[in-house]
Amino acid sequence: MINVTDLRKNVTFEMDGQLYKVLEYEHYKPGRGNAIIRTKLRNLRTGATLDRNFLSGDRVQDVRLDHHTVQYLYHDGDLYYFMDTETFDQPALTAAVLGDAVNYLKDGVTLELSLYNGEPIEVELPTTVDMVVTEAPMAIAGDTATGATKQVTTETGLKVTVPLFVNEGDRIRVDTRTGEYLTRV
């Protein structure tokens, strides 16, 4: 058991039989009474998020996660399949559990998979991913001096705001934490 005052961003714990990951954490001390710990949590099994307040002194069950290096293989409907690079096992995760990570999954991308008691829980993406632009509107010749941007679609369906000089077929580097364009590759 750990005290809720020890919770921080990205800490995983068990509460009410469910696994949660802390997305946001705020320690608030009113003038009188106990401190309040405000958190935003994501259920790792369902992908649902919730806001939860704890009083200082409350305790939650800490968990130990196993981490494995996996490679993304393919998706079939709502299931996304990965291959463990050491054991060659092929765990599957649902789109709800992966959340926004599905926009960055390309064949052969290497990720970190977290498991709890043998159950795949979540993946940790690399910081950047290189993608091919599949759809890009044409830029007008006079617009390049203004620092204007346009929205393009990548091979995974992700929409990214890029400078006007990026064209269809170009490879771009995207930050997986923010979804922002970094550079043309």
Give the 3-state secondary structure percentages of the chain, helix then strand then coil, rounded to 5. Answer: 10, 50, 35
Task: Output the pLDDT for position 136.
Answer: 87
Q: Domains (ranges, CATH) in the chain?
A: 2-62 (2.30.30.30), 66-124 (2.40.50.140), 128-184 (2.40.50.140)
Measuring CA to CA, which residue among 114, 73, 71, 77 is closest to residue 94? 77
Over the stretch 113-152, which tens digit does the pLDDT of each residue have? 888 888 888 888 899 999 999 998 887 766 556 678 889 9
**The two structure tokens encoding residue 121:** 């829980």
Question: Residue 113 and residue 83: Cα distance in Å, rounded?
Answer: 10
Q: Is pTM, for the whole model, over 0.85?
A: no
Task: Output the pLDDT for position 43.
Answer: 87
Question: Residue 149 and residue 181: Cα distance in Å, rounded?
Answer: 11
Question: Residue 149 and residue 75: Cα distance in Å, rounded?
Answer: 32
pLDDT at 177 over 70: yes
Task: Output the pLDDT for position 148.
Answer: 80
Task: Output the pLDDT for position 92.
Answer: 87
More reliable by pLDDT, 136 or 96: 136
Task: Output the pLDDT for position 39.
Answer: 92
Over the stretch 32-89, which tens digit does the pLDDT of each residue have? 888 889 999 988 887 788 999 998 888 999 888 888 999 999 988 889 999 998 989 8
Sheet hosting strand 36-43, strand order edge to edge: 2-3, 59-62, 12-15, 18-28, 36-43, 49-55
Place of tokens 């958190």: 39
- Band (175; pLDDT cuts 50, 70, 90): very high
Torsion of CA 79, 82, 83, 85, to 10 degrees: -160
Task: Output the pLDDT for position 165.
Answer: 85
